[in-house]
Amino acid sequence: MKDLKKKGPTVSSGFGDDRNSIADTSRVGRVVVVGPLPEPYNGMTVVTETILRSRLTQAFGVIHADTSDHRSVSNVGRFDFTNVKLAVKAAGTVMRRLARRDVELLYVPIAKNRLGFLRDAPLLLTARAMRRTAVVHFHARGFDEFRRSQPRWMQKLIELCLRFDRCHAIVLGDCLRQEFVGLIPPERVHVVANGVGDSKPATPTKPLAPTVLHLSTLWSEKGVFQVLESATMLRATFPDIRCVLAGDWYSATEAEAAKRYIARHGLGDCVSIVGPVVGEQKNQLLATSTVMVFPSHSEGHPLVLLEALSASLPVVATNVGAIPEIVNDGEEGFLIDPGDVVALTDRTARLVEDAALRAQMSLCARRRYERDFTSERFADRLGAIWRSIIYQSHRVAVDESSVLEATGS
């Protein structure tokens, strides 16, 4: 996406009250957004795309520093020439943009892997050296655990990148506020829940058989093997049940292991592996499913659950990360402990066999999406944080200038 250099009428951001409303980008300053775009589809790529398609682009004069790597999700966090080239390109773009007087805020989604952070470190160090405001957006959980697991030199680098007075952080839920403990003060850690576009298909169709959907990166950490184990148990009660696995495999080794499991347990007529789905194909899959199962072992604020709520699809998910801030147990779906295949199977079976319960949860799911998790609500939340941080940086700059004048420096 090219730089936005709109001229003419001023644009109201629409974020928050009129007292602090942003009348035009020239007064407020522009925002440099670092991030990749789909494909592949994951939390970072989808959120970047959501930002660039929203009114944030015009309200804040967004400049995009593209870090897209359109290869398979299995390349995430791996060191190769392409990743280095992308990092150098992004660093060059950010350095040039931060040199502009009308740019005030650098927005960087960060990862909890060493190579990913090393890629982003030059961007954050540039912002620090130039005394520009930086906002890191963490799309997962476990950053503090990641930092403490690193060698001392890496811990020092992380501290250098994040421990400065113009650095803010965004986390995905209230339960994740401690992710940057010891690095960024609590008053500079902000919560912004994710949001997604509407997943209702243009022409919904009814499923011919009960269908259990697992929509995710296909990976043991996301619970794919618990889904397969549950499928063997469900089929004993519901002979016509279908289980659909949709997404990219994270590991070729695990893909082969899953195929062997399916063959060994005779699940060929029950389990379908359909690969990644997007757009209307994904919407139709959500619409024709009976329940979404998401037994992940570690999560932040997963977008796939928001897509399920949007499609009025009840979910069975694990009680990890910010998932309890998305799904109320017994309302939009059920929450279970990680690794509990018996509970996963029991809650899924209840939704398959109880049409009245399923209808009630479907209604709650859609209402929750419309109230809290639309892409517009996400843009409002993120825009309000950006605006607040920018005005705070203005006040800091004024205070610093006053001190310099008073001391005659």
Give 10-residue mean pLDDT values along the chain (409 residues): 37 40 53 90 89 95 88 59 74 85 92 90 93 95 96 98 97 96 97 94 71 96 98 96 96 97 97 94 94 96 97 97 97 98 98 97 97 97 96 67 49
**What's 104's DSSP letter?**
E
The whole-number pLDDT of residue 111 equals 87
Distance CA(304)–CA(245), nearest Å, equals 13
pLDDT of residue 18: 35
* pLDDT (0 to 100) of residue 69: 80
Q: Would 12 be classed as within a structural domain?
A: no
CB 353 within 8 A of CB 240: no
pLDDT of residue 232: 97
Pair 139, 255 in one domain? no
Q: 205 in a domain, yes or no? A: no
What is the reported pLDDT for 101? 84
In a domain, 201, yes or no: no
Q: Does one domain contain both 167 and 242?
A: no
Statement to judge: residues 173 and 38 lie in one domain: yes
- Statement to judge: residues 188 and 253 lie in one domain: no
Q: Are residues 33 and 57 in the same domain?
A: yes
Q: What pLDDT does 171 receive?
A: 97
Q: How many domains does the chain have?
A: 2
Same domain for 250 and 233: yes
Q: Are residues 55 and 177 in the same domain?
A: yes
Identity at 305, one-letter amino acid code: L
265 inside domain: yes
The alpha-helical segments, DSSP class H, found in 70-223 are 81-98, 114-129, 143-149, 152-162
Structural domain includes residue 200: no
Clarify whether residues 74 and 191 are in a common domain. Answer: yes
List the CATH number of the domain containing 246.
3.40.50.2000
Domain co-membership, 368 together with 381: no
| Tokens at 87, concatenated | 């990092």
Q: Note down the domain range covering 380.
A: 18-195+374-407
